Amino acid sequence: MSDKSSLQKDVEQRFREFLLAHELRQTRERFAILEAIYSIEGTFTIEHLQELMQERRFPVSTGTLYSTLQLLIQANLLIRHPFNFSSVFERIADSHPRSYQICNNCHRITRIKSKELASSLETYHPRGFSISHRIVYIYGTCPGCLRKMRKMLKLKEQNKL
């Protein structure tokens, strides 16, 4: 894979500097995991990442995955979303604000693509607080679940008649 994007090269460099600064080893596994993560658009779980590593013929243990993810979080190259239903991660090399819709019912996570919301987040500068990331979570019911609920309600009403 010689055709790496500039983002891939940039995050590799940042991870290398982080590992050097913390006197940690620059292993092939760590960089292969970083590369896999930065090939994923959006959120992912450990299981998803493990499958991807297997597809790439670079299987790694769950322990190695977890410890590498921990390092990437410390290096500010990854975030772990604070969802209580599962461990969901996402790459975060850029400082663009992110906003998500999360369904309380099926736990589906979707990125909100609202320029209006993004620009309000970008221009928000709290006094005396240094921002590292701007992330907003909005919880509710997704269109698919809403449809199912309406269907159920209709069936219940029909059964009553």
Query: What residues line the site for Zn ion (CB under 5 A)?
Result: 103, 105-106, 108, 142, 145
CA 51/CA 74 separation, integer angstroms:
24
Shortest distance, position 149 Cβ to Zn ion, whole Å: 9
Burial class (CB within 10 angstroms; exposed 0-12, middle 13-18, buried 19+) of 52 = middle
CA 81/CA 70 separation, integer angstroms:
13
Shortest distance, position 85 Cβ to Zn ion, whole Å: 12
Shortest distance, position 81 Cβ to Zn ion, whole Å: 17
CA 147/CA 154 separation, integer angstroms:
11
- Residue (136 or 145) nearer to Zn ion, CB: 145
- Residue (7 or 149) nearer to Zn ion, CB: 149
CA distances from 47 to 53, 119, 154 (A): 10, 34, 37
- Residue (67 or 110) nearer to Zn ion, CB: 110
- Residue (84 or 132) nearer to Zn ion, CB: 84
Shortest distance, position 106 Cβ to Zn ion, whole Å: 3
